[in-house]
Amino acid sequence: MKISRFIKFLVFLVAIALIVTSGLIATLPWWSFTVPLFLLGVFIDHRQWDIKTFWTGGLAGFFTWGGAMIFFEQKYDSTILKKIGEVMSVDKMVLVLISGCIGGILAGLALYTGTKVFGKRADKDLEELIQN
């Protein structure tokens, strides 16, 4: 089902909200955000929304994790990012990118996997990605 850009953007925002919320619950394991994203994927599939879920989830994960790194660095006014960069011999922005990539790939994959449980839609974005 074709859907409006607004819905697409809404899904993106919901994905971000889910990642942030599960992140802020400190007692949950580090990967806990993949569970609600997976369920969101199931929901999207149920509604047969035509969304590139891997990309949507991936971008949400990337921006949330990478953005949160920068946000906390600013909020705490801390040198920790620079110091860990030195320990791992990389620039601090590389750490932000690595963090973003980990968040992104897991979020994208979780959302995508959710849509495949019942597989009602014909969403091929990951397959296309792999083939290219």
- We find the least distance from the C-beta atom of residue 3 to other proteins, in angstroms, to be 21
Distance in Å, CB of 12 to other proteins, minimum: 18
Q: Which lies closer to other proteins via its Cβ, residue 5 or residue 72?
A: 72
| Residue with smaller CB distance to other proteins, 4 or 52 | 52
Shortest distance (Å) from residue 72 CB to other proteins: 5
Give residues in contact with other proteins (CB under 8 A): 20, 23-24, 26-27, 30-31, 34, 64-65, 68-69, 71-73, 76-88, 95, 98-99, 102-103, 105-106, 109-110, 112-113, 116-120, 126
Residue nearer to other proteins on the CB measure, 11 or 81: 81
Q: With respect to other proteins, which residue has the nearer C-beta, 83 or 93?
A: 83
**Can you give the three-state secondary structure of the chain, one letter per residue?**
CCCCHHHHHHHHHHHHHHHHHHHHCCCCCCCCCHHHHHHHHHHHHHHCCCCCHHHHHHHHHHHHHHHHHHHHHHHHCCCHHHHHHHHCCCCHHHHHHHHHHHHHHHHHHHHHHHHHCCCCCCCCHHHHHHHC
Extract the tokens encoding 79: 């040198």
One-letter amino acid for residue 9 of the chain: F
Q: What six digits make up the tokens of 123? A: 């969403």
In the complex, least distance from residue 114 CB atom to other proteins, rounded to whole angstroms: 8
